[in-house]
Amino acid sequence: MARITLNRPLARNALSIILSDELIHALEVVRDSRTIKVLVIQGAGGTFCAGDDITEMHRWGDANDVMRRVTGYQHMADTLEELDKVTIAKVNGFAVGGGLEITMACDFVVAAYGAKWGMPEVDVGITPGWGGTTRMARLIGRRLTKEINLLGALHPATRAAELTLWNRVVPDDRLDTAVDELVEVLLNKNQQAVRQLKFIINSGVEADLKTAQAFEKLSAGLTGAVNGGWQVDDADQAAGILGFRDKNTLWQERRGLARNFWTDGPVTA
């Protein structure tokens, strides 16, 4: 298991330019790890994350620079969402703006009763850039997403659970224990099955039903393979790859038959 701690407590862990860059690099380290199975993201100093550091926005540059910056943020959220590890946001204090967007890219969100959340960008005259409208609408629908973004209110943690935006709300003094218990359950699973489940759920929810079912079907085949049934009778057990490497008789025969087949077009002489 790994933990990433947002550590700017005096600024309520607001995402400065430096902290954002450090976060994406940390996520890339987790992404490339073959040993990490669960990632917990948390904030230092009794709060999760107060979103982008508004005081630094004048340093972002012109409109094109701002779009480039948002592209980086979207890459960060996409990297987090697509990790082949289970991700848990451990939320206390404030999770607003970019902080809330981080939680929406995680697989699980466990929050303390005292946590507050919302998208107050509207009152600064800006709009969310990496999930506050897009992921939120996919999680709770467009009508509630408009309510939360257009009004900009700060909501109690219990409402996030009621809306299924977050998974679970626990007493403040139980937050550490609740997250540790969830991690224990997750680490006890068949990790290949967990990876496949996360992939097909994330991929399927963005697809039409037929495509989503195709992901499920392929996942079932992969499950059969990793559970021992990988030797399909009319597959060649990597003979084609070995043939290419060695340029053996099988390779020569296959390429000899295929190389110039029907290359003269659809009308024969």
**Looking at the structure, do residues 10 and 93 belong to the same domain, yes or no?**
yes
Per-residue confidence in pLDDT tens, the chain, 269 aa: 999 999 999 999 999 999 999 999 999 999 999 999 999 999 999 999 999 999 998 899 999 999 999 999 999 999 999 999 999 999 999 999 999 999 999 999 999 999 999 999 999 999 999 999 999 999 999 999 999 999 999 999 999 999 999 999 999 999 999 999 999 999 999 999 999 999 999 999 999 999 999 999 999 999 999 999 989 999 998 999 999 999 999 999 999 999 999 999 999 87
Beta strands across the sheet bearing 38-43? 2-6, 38-43, 86-91, 108-112, 168-170
**Looking at the structure, do residues 244 and 126 belong to the same domain, yes or no?**
no
Residue corresponding to tokens 């039903």: 209
Within-domain flag for 198? yes
* Enzyme catalytic residues: 101, 121
Within-domain flag for 77? yes
Helix (H, G, I), strand (E, B) or coil at 233: coil
Name the domain count of the chain. 2
pTM: 0.94
**Looking at the structure, do residues 119 and 214 belong to the same domain, yes or no?**
no
What's the domain range around 219? Answer: 190-258
Find the CATH number of the domain harbouring 15. 3.90.226.10
**Looking at the structure, do residues 145 and 211 belong to the same domain, yes or no?**
no
For residue 38, give the nearest of 168, 180, 170, 178 by alpha carbon: 180
